[in-house]
Amino acid sequence: MNSRFSRFIAMAVILVPGVLPGAHAVEYTDVNATASTISFTYNQMGSRVYGTFGKFEGELDFDTRHPEAARAKLTIELDSIDAGSEDASTELQKPAWFDTASYPVATFESTRFKDLGNNRYRITGNLTLRGLTREVTVPVLLKAENAIGIFDGELVLKRSDFKIGDGEWADTMVSDGINIRFRMVAPQR
């Protein structure tokens, strides 16, 4: 179940950095949370588990002419987790996992954007989860469609880095690596 949370964080990281350069300069400043998604997958007792986060807000200031000056922030409401069943979603909010009573949100704030060419970017930033902050780097692909930028990203987070699933869950019953995917949608400004 920690894998779901890690994936969520990864998605958050990916959503923040999306950029799409085109033939001309384009600016993106708003994230449409309704059209965007954050999902995660992990292994639990040999089975692949899929989940999502339903509530999050993204801030973006990205100009394809100056990607190095871009800024992004993502705030995820952890109690909006959908781990595939009501029991699993409720369990993940408990103190051993996300502890949403003490830590209701996860945040990602970018510190650097690097243009890798071909509409690909590498976004580095600080991810805060359960009161712990770790630097993460997320590769992002920007696709432009009908005056909309779609920032797709994916990363693998270790739940142990954020003490998610301590105690009986700290063993290999739930994979330490959580695959997080995000798709952030932002209209051109």
Predicted confidence (pLDDT) per residue in 137-165, tens digit:
999 999 988 889 999 999 999 999 999 98
Q: Is the pLDDT of residue 17 over 60?
A: no
What radius of gyration do the chain's Cα atoms show? 16
Tell me the pTM: 0.82
| CA 128 – CA 116 distance, rounded (Å) | 26
Pairing mode, strands 105-117 and 47-53: unpaired
Q: Total domain count for the chain?
A: 1
| CA 17 – CA 28 distance, rounded (Å) | 11
| CA 91 – CA 112 distance, rounded (Å) | 35
pLDDT (0 to 100) of residue 79: 96
Q: Is the pLDDT of residue 29 over 80?
A: yes
Mean of pLDDT values over 41-56: 92
Confidence grade of residue 30 (pLDDT, cut at 50, 70, 90): confident
Residue 130: domain span = 2-187
Between these two residues, 181 and 170, which has the higher pLDDT value? 181
Tens of pLDDT, residues 77-106: 999 999 988 998 999 999 999 999 999 999
* Structure letter (DSSP) for residue 163: T
Continuous segment of H or E residues that includes residue 60: strand 56-63
Tokens coding 33: 């949370």
Please report, for the domain that includes residue 68, its CATH number: 2.40.128.110
| Of 69, 57, 70, residue with least CA distance to 17 | 70
